[in-house]
Amino acid sequence: MADEQPNRFAVSEQFRFIGRTFTEYRWLFDLALSDLAGQSILDCAAGPASFTATATQIGADVTAVDPTYGQPVETLEEICQDAVEKTLAQLQEKTDLFVWERYGDVETRGRHLRSAYERFLADYSQHSGRYIPAALPDLPFDSDRFDLALSANFLFLYDDRLDLDFHLDSLRELARVAGEVRIFPLASLDAERSEYVDPVVDQLESEGYGTEFQRVPYEFQPGVTEMLVVSDSQ
Ligand SMILES: C[S@@+](CC[C@H](N)C(=O)[O-])C[C@H]1O[C@@H](n2cnc3c(N)ncnc32)[C@H](O)[C@@H]1O
């Protein structure tokens, strides 16, 4: 039997491999189409989001990073299907904990999740070079490689699993490789503002980074409508 080459990043059950669509990314990060064309953009942790596939089509140069990449498309498809099923089952039990203005109901939310991963899988199978298996807080890119880095539904969301140093190291790393970093949401899974937001911002400012909170046109966890923008002002 041929030696198997396991992905050096374990597929983690701790962080669910679900992804949003391009349209949802535009809401999460308040992105205008004119923010994208001609820009070099990093999506990290990208998961099976379809942002990379669609933004590339409209003229952005996008690279996606996630530790789960690097596996066959069939394996990723199984992971995506399982993750969406689990997510929808949980949502069905907790509908009153979310704001449904954007989606209407759980079924429609499911359509967004499936359409994101189907688009992702099609792009991943044809353009695997856009999808880099790597993990924060260490990115395999030169400094200032990107104009913009987007990080959705990873930092601050899992603050019960990732500590303050991980958040700081990850944000410094994102700011090293990109001129501007946008992070959403700033709340953990219980919809409370992450306890790390203020210490992270204070520390980054003391190191000379620029930080700004900006309201975005998206609310799914109640009251969670702000993104953090970090710029490397050094
Ligand atoms: C909930 S998904 C978010 C996907 C996408 N950004 C979105 O908002 O639709 C979280 C992702 O974080 C990835 N992840 C886990 N550990 C990571 C790390 N150390 N660095 C980067 N991504 C990581 C997981 O594989 C998973 O795909």
Compute the distance between CA of residue 88 and CA of residue 82 in angstroms, rounded to an integer: 10
Give the domain CATH number at 145: 3.40.50.150
Please tell me the predicted confidence (pLDDT) of residue 221.
95
Give the structural domain span for 95.
8-231
154 lines ligand 1 (CB under 6 A): yes
Share of the chain above pLDDT 70, in %: 94
**Residue 44 domain flag:** yes
Please tell me the predicted confidence (pLDDT) of residue 203.
98
**Residue 46 domain flag:** yes
135 lines ligand 1 (CB under 6 A): yes
pLDDT tens figures, 136-163: 999 999 999 999 999 999 999 999 999 9
Q: What is the pTM of this model?
A: 0.95
Using CA atoms, how far residue 184 sits from 123, 136, 187, 215, in Å, is 24, 16, 8, 10
**Residue 168 domain flag:** yes
20 lines ligand 1 (CB under 6 A): yes
Q: At what angle do helices 73-93 and 106-126 cross, to 10 degrees?
A: 170
Share of the chain above pLDDT 90, in %: 91
113 lines ligand 1 (CB under 6 A): no
**Residue 97 domain flag:** yes
H or E element in which residue 215 lies: strand 210-215
> Is it the case that residue 10 has pLDDT exceeding 50?
no
Report the separation in Å between the CA atom of 48 and the middle of ligand 1, taken as the mean of its atom positions.
9
Compute the distance between CA of residue 75 and CA of residue 120 in angstroms, rounded to an integer: 13
Which amino acid appears at position 178 of this protein? A
Domains contained in the chain, number: 1
Please tell me the predicted confidence (pLDDT) of residue 232.
82
* φ and ψ of 151, to 5 deg: -135, 110
Report the separation in Å between the CA atom of 47 and the middle of ligand 1, taken as the mean of its atom positions.
5
Compute the distance between CA of residue 191 and CA of residue 59 in angstroms, rounded to an integer: 34
| Sheet strands side by side (includes 40-44) | 131-132, 61-65, 40-44, 146-152, 178-184, 226-231, 210-215
pLDDT tens figures, 40-62: 999 999 999 999 999 999 999 99
**Residue 1 domain flag:** no
